[in-house]
């Protein structure tokens, strides 16, 4: 396994190696800059003012239904902590290849996995991306190197869980459910939280390769933090839209299991990561879901004579196993369980 970082640093590359070149359709290169994803004010969503909170809940529901993506501002996660986790992540990827390869897991559900591309065993073309994946809840699994890394991750994931908990309460309100419905039904307090750190080095020919191809996320919600270099694009009404987050904001997207739970009322959305020639992009995603043994299917509140079950129930861990073991391709995981 050769990491992209190692590849870039060991060669004065002017051309992308052929095994990283991915074929794209002309439509994939068309971007629409005019549309902006919704913005949700976390302080209003958690406000003691019922009118202000009600308005924010409605905005949250609209964002989940119409976009599946939104920017989250005024979220009370300190900027110092956000910068600290980004620096710590950079420090991990700056370790020697020998040190990082100590964490190269062999199995999809290994607690810690360092690697490159997505799944080098099945990828038709490799992706311009190195990664670190850690199962950080209900038990914290983090590399012991570099010094202080595990402590920083622990502090960050605790804050992100608090934010996601409040978002799920707001989503329940937007669906007309009791605010703790999802938290209780899927026992999210003891649920799975994955931290995925992505490292996208500068690329000499970014138009020929991808950081990550179009895909949806497993889980209920994904909270995304990135450094100053953008690269995220989402598909909205068939068009690819580049995301330019506001300073000190999070990007949040609905995952496959929120779509499954709501029987398609709130849909997960296709998104992808592109690379650039300018510098290294770092993104840190925390994916939040049920316990690995929990079976997730459409909730009875969203099933009826006019709206039959659209997905078969599946164990959460089996769904992750399927996604991580196959080629990352659009909505293939949801299609696998679609009725």
In a domain, 222, yes or no: yes
Q: Say what the pTM is.
A: 0.94
Residues in the chain: 339
pLDDT at 27: 64
Domain count, the chain: 1
Which ranges of 15-121 would DSSP assign to H, the alpha helix?
Answer: 42-45, 50-66, 79-93, 97-100
Provide the phi-psi class of 33: left if phi over 0, else alpha when psi is between -120 and 50, else beta. alpha
pLDDT digits (tens, 9 = 90+) for 111-170: 999 999 988 888 889 999 999 999 999 999 999 999 999 999 999 999 999 999 999 999
pLDDT at 34: 66
pLDDT at 175: 98
What range does the domain containing 201 cover?
4-14+34-337
β-sheet with 130-137: strand ranges across: 39-41, 69-73, 250-254, 221-226, 281-288, 193-200, 130-137, 112-116
pLDDT at 252: 98
Tokens standing for 110? 């290994």
pLDDT at 26: 62
In a domain, 160, yes or no: yes
In a domain, 23, yes or no: no
Segments of the chain with pLDDT less than 50: none
Which ranges of the chain would DSSP assign to H, the alpha helix?
Answer: 4-10, 42-45, 50-66, 79-93, 97-100, 149-174, 181-185, 256-261, 316-325, 332-337
Give the list of residues 6+ apart from residue 18 with CB closer than 8 angstroms, or none. Answer: none
In a domain, 27, yes or no: no
In a domain, 19, yes or no: no
In a domain, 26, yes or no: no
In a domain, 21, yes or no: no
In a domain, 308, yes or no: yes
CATH (domain of 315)? 2.60.120.330
């Amino acid at each position: 396994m050769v990491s992209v970082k190692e590849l870039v640093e060991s060669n004065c590359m002017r051309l992308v190696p052929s095994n990283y070149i991915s074929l794209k359709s002309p439509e994939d290169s068309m971007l629409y800059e005019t549309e902006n994803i919704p913005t949700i004010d976390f302080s209003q969503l958690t406000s003691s003012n019922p009118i202000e909170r009600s308005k924010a809940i409605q905005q949250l529901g609209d964002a989940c239904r119409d976009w599946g993506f939104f920017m989250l501002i005024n979220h009370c996660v300190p900027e110092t902590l956000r910068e600290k986790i980004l620096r710590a992540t950079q420090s991990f990827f700056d370790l020697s290849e020998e040190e990082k390869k100590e964490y190269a897991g062999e199995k999809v559900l290994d607690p810690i996995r360092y690697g490159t591309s997505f799944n080098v065993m099945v990828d038709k073309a490799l992706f311009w991306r190195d990664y670190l994946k850690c199962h950080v809840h209900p038990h914290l699994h983090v590399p012991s190197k570099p010094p202080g890394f595990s402590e920083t991750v622990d502090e960050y994931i605790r804050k992100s869980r608090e934010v996601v908990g409040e978002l799920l309460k707001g989503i329940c309100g937007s669906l007309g459910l009791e605010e703790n419905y999802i938290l209780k039904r899927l026992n999210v307090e003891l649920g799975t939280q994955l931290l995925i750190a992505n490292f996208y080095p500068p690329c000499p020919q970014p138009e020929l390769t991808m950081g990550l191809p179009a895909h949806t996320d497993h889980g209920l919600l994904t909270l995304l933090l990135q450094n100053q270099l953008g690269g995220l694009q989402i598909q909205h009404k068939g068009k690819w839209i580049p995301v330019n987050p506001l300073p000190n904001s999070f990007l949040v997207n609905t995952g496959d299991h929120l779509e499954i739970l709501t029987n398609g009322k709130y849909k997960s959305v296709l998104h992808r990561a592109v690379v650039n020639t300018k510098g290294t992009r770092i993104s840190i995603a925390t994916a939040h879901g049920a316990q690995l043994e929990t079976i997730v299917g459409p909730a009875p509140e969203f099933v009826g004579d006019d709206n039959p079950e659209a997905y078969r129930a599946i164990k959460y861990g089996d769904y992750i196993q399927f996604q991580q073991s196959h080629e990352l391709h659009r909505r293939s995981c949801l299609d696998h369980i679609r009725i």
